Amino acid sequence: MWGVDDEIRALIKNAASAVSHWPANHLSPETIADHITQAVDKTREMVFKEEHILLPMSLEKLSSDEWRQIAADSREIGFYLISPPPAWPDAAGQTAAGEEKPESSGKDSEKQAAYGNIKLPSGTFTIDSLTAMLNTVPFDMTFVDHDDRVSFFSQGRERIFDRNLSIIGRKVVNCHPPASMHIVEQILSDFKSGRREQADFWIQMGPKYVLIRYYAVRDDQGQYLGTLEVTQDIAPIKAIEGEKRLLDD
């Protein structure tokens, strides 16, 4: 269904472009109407499948806790064409936004805090300072372990791609749209075999110029430990000219 969602987004984008650029695009009214009809029909088909297949199956298979997690993740990602629905009702464990705090975040932090500082070869961190530092750096980081499962992502204020705690422990290929799954699989295979140490991609996303870099993470003996993904909007960096040697007022 993710692949079909991508198709629908493309159809909506094409229809919007056809309308906004008319008459300069020299398209006939009939052609524009056809673009709109395709987008509307495909959207209605998907809504029908969701209401009559996906949601009934989900109601049958998913537990209340899983629905609560879905509600929390959905609120974090945001909603399209609808207003945010009421917060998931719960008598305890709610965040300020009215959603239950994911079970892993609080308990895991308490467990780790019991062990004191995190000691590294070149220094130490408290849990709070390390978390704050990782969330302060001006780029997103995601770590995939040697079994190809997502084990960490940073939570900066302005993330390029949405992440939620449900992806922790999930196979990373299942966190990407179908069109790019084969690329992710190739990168992981190349890293594990030693054929490649880094893979870079860059894409234009509106005003953002996004650089996506993958690094093979290895221990001192060269054994593969996992993959680090670093994503950054480099448009402000590309715009830098000349020199700056003084601090702003």
Verify cis geometry, omega within 30 degrees of 0, for the bond prior to 207: no
The whole-number pLDDT of residue 146 equals 96
Architecture category of domain 137-238 in CATH: 2-Layer Sandwich (3.30)
CB 84 within 8 A of CB 98: no
Q: State the first-to-last Cα distance of the chain, in angstroms, to the nearest integer.
A: 52
Instruction: Find residue 140's DSSP bridge partners.
Output: 231
Please state, in angstroms and rounded to a whole number, the distance separating the CA atoms of residues 6 and 211. 21
Q: What's the pLDDT at 140?
A: 95
Map tokens 């929390």 to a residue.
72
Q: For residues 87 and 97, is the Cβ–Cβ distance under 8 A?
A: yes
135 and 154 Cβ atoms separated by less than 8 Å: yes
pTM: 0.66
Identify any residues that bridge with 205 across adjacent strands, giving them in sequence order: 208
Q: Please, is 220 exposed, middle or buried when counting C-beta atoms within 10 Å of its C-beta (0-12, 13-18, 19+)?
A: exposed
Write the DSSP string, 155-167.
Answer: --SS-SS---GGG
Domain ranges of the chain: 2-61, 137-238
C-alpha to C-alpha distance for 95 and 202, rounded to whole angstroms:
36
Number of helices and strands in the chain (H, E): 8, 7
pLDDT tens series, the chain, 249 aa = 778 888 898 999 999 999 999 999 899 999 999 999 999 999 999 999 999 999 999 999 998 888 888 888 887 777 877 888 888 776 454 544 444 444 444 445 454 444 568 888 899 999 999 999 999 999 999 999 999 999 999 999 888 888 888 889 999 998 888 888 999 999 999 999 999 999 999 999 989 999 999 999 999 999 999 999 999 999 999 999 999 989 887
3 state SS of 191: helix
Burial class (CB in 10 A: 0-12, 13-18, 19+), 176: middle
Q: Do 11 and 38 touch, CB atoms closer than 8 A?
A: yes
The C-alpha atoms of residue 211 and residue 226 are separated, in whole angstroms, by 20
Rounded-to-integer distance, Cα 193 and Cα 170, Å:
22
